[in-house]
Amino acid sequence: MSFDRNRGNLGRGRPFRLIVTGGGTGGHTYPALTAIRTLQATLAAGGRALEVLWVGTADSLEQRVSAGEGIAFRAVATGKLRRAGHQLKPGSLASLANIRDMGRVPFGVAQARAIVAEFEPDVVLATGGYVSVPVGLAAKLCHRPLVVHEQTVRLGLANKALVRVAARVAVSAESTLALLPESARKTAVVTGNPVRPEVLTGRADKAVESLALHGFDRRLPTVYVTGGAQGSQQINYLVRGILPWLLTEANVVHQCGPEHLDELRGSAAALPADLGGRYRLIGYIGSELPDVLALADVVISRGGAGTIAELTALGKAAVLLPLAGSAADEQAHNARRLAEAAAAVVLLGEVSADDLREAVGPLLADEARRADLATQARSHGRPDAAERLVEVILAAAGH
């Protein structure tokens, strides 16, 4: 999928050229990667090749992901607006750091314009993050169609700047449409947030084998606890506070984050043997994640857009503890949308171990209640989000 002007046309006719921009976090990066893979498969089915160029920030997650996927990468300068708390306050705009960073944007636009003019993409896809602003503006200046994808319920700052110049806007939730400018609503489509296909094909029996969960009692429900790749100190603390009780009601796979593993091992070692056999503490779950999700009856997690996309696509009963410090409090907004639809249990603010026990207990005790929550979650899922986004990309290119 790399960009090489000297290798000639592949497939039937000229290869489809796509510039992808966005990153800084996995929430922006991985939906873009899933869209790339899906577009490549769609074009290949019609005998056409795909050339991709990812434009992002140097020494970033998106650069590492691009390298791992064999996708050509170019870096541009970018700025960053620093917030005061959850909101972007007027006084914070005038900080020296903001002034210095925003002064880099015109240079980044000039760099991006040269890249877009050279690559001549059929479409530019922007998935958010500050780096997408100069690239999206460059697409407009070079008269190349721009597709903006928003993963969260509320628009991120970068996407707020770009939706006015986009040819198409793709959003993950119906409620986001009302937040768009009137001009952008005319071209907006609800696609959902792309979910990696492998997440949808997990097998519970494989999780038992790969994680050696032979002490689990399969007559009991299984709880998967996760705070994301790095873990969550808050979630770890709360789960530790109810652990002996929790293990009388369920099996538990607890992904705590590599840095928290040592401090939690003591609690695990102190468990009675019969309970300890139903508890699997692990620092990081990688390729096993689809299988762990297939095994889980209840998930305790944060409320990130990617997590919610996966849980709803799979139809999982979940107790969500949104990260209070997330940008513009986006995790709370994501989670509230599900709570209002009875599609998840959400705990906000100061949460105690007793609060978590009261939230999880009824789900473990009542299989019908778990099933109802899972059904409601699935009704909000869009497992075909990547295919829908690819349709938007192709439509923007006139295909």
Q: Which 8-state DSSP code applies to residue 138?
A: H
Question: Mean of the pLDDT values across residues 264-274?
Answer: 91
Question: Mean of the pLDDT values across residues 282-304?
Answer: 96
Sequence length of the chain is 399
Judgement on whether residues 139 and 257 belong to the same structural domain of the protein: no
Domain with 126, as residue range(s), is: 5-194+384-396
Is 103 a residue whose pLDDT tops 90? no
Judgement on whether residues 182 and 236 belong to the same structural domain of the protein: no
Full strand arrangement of the beta sheet holding 146-150: 72-75, 50-56, 16-21, 123-126, 146-150, 168-171, 188-190
Judgement on whether residues 248 and 140 belong to the same structural domain of the protein: no
Rounded-to-integer distance, Cα 71 and Cα 285, Å: 25
pLDDT at site 24: 86
Specify the CATH number for the domain of residue 135. 3.40.50.2000
Judgement on whether residues 215 and 242 belong to the same structural domain of the protein: yes
Judgement on whether residues 248 and 312 belong to the same structural domain of the protein: yes
**Residue 90 burial (CB count, 10 A):** 8
Is 88 a residue whose pLDDT tops 70? no
Is 93 a residue whose pLDDT tops 60? no
pLDDT at site 254: 97
State the sign of the Cα–Cα–Cα–Cα dihedral 49, 67, 330, 297: positive
Judgement on whether residues 230 and 313 belong to the same structural domain of the protein: yes
Which string of DSSP letters, residue by residue, matches 67-97? HHHT-EEEE-----PPPBTTB--HHHHTSHH
Average pLDDT, the chain: 90
Question: Mean of the pLDDT values across residues 206-225?
Answer: 96
Q: Per-residue confidence at 9, pLDDT binned at 50, 70, 90?
A: very low
Question: Mean of the pLDDT values across residues 339-355?
Answer: 95
Question: Mean of the pLDDT values across residues 329-350?
Answer: 92
pLDDT at site 267: 87
Judgement on whether residues 190 and 309 belong to the same structural domain of the protein: no
Q: Tell me which amino acid residue 162 is.
A: L
Burial 358-382 (b: 16+ CB within 10 A, else e): ebbeebbeeeeebeebbebbbebbb
Q: Per-residue confidence at 16, pLDDT binned at 50, 70, 90?
A: very high
Which string of DSSP letters, residue by residue, matches 182-251? HHHHTTEEE------GGGGG--HHHHHHHTT-TT--TTS-EEEEE--TT--HHHHHHHHHHHHHHHHH-E
Q: Per-residue confidence at 246, pLDDT binned at 50, 70, 90?
A: very high
Judgement on whether residues 362 and 391 belong to the same structural domain of the protein: no
State the sign of the Cα–Cα–Cα–Cα dihedral 195, 152, 306, 121: positive
CA end-to-end span of the chain: 20
Burial 114-128 (b: 16+ CB within 10 A, else e): ebbeebebbbbbbbb
Is 30 a residue whose pLDDT tops 80? yes
pLDDT at site 326: 61
Q: Per-residue confidence at 98, pLDDT binned at 50, 70, 90?
A: very low
Q: Per-residue confidence at 207, pLDDT binned at 50, 70, 90?
A: very high
Among 159, 185, 136, residue whose Cα is nearest residue 27: 159
Judgement on whether residues 82 and 205 belong to the same structural domain of the protein: no
Q: How many domains does the chain have?
A: 2
**To 10 degrees, the CA torsion angle through 140, 160, 34, 397?**
-30
Rounded-to-integer distance, Cα 202 and Cα 314, Å: 10
Q: Are 135 and 76 a contacting pair, CB within 8 Å?
A: yes
| Rg of the chain on CA atoms, in Å | 22
List pLDDT tens digits, range 124-172.
999 999 999 999 999 999 999 999 999 998 888 899 999 999 999 999 9
List pLDDT tens digits, range 54-85.
999 999 999 999 999 999 999 999 866 544 44
Question: Mean of the pLDDT values across residues 367-382?
Answer: 97
Q: What is the pTM of this model?
A: 0.86
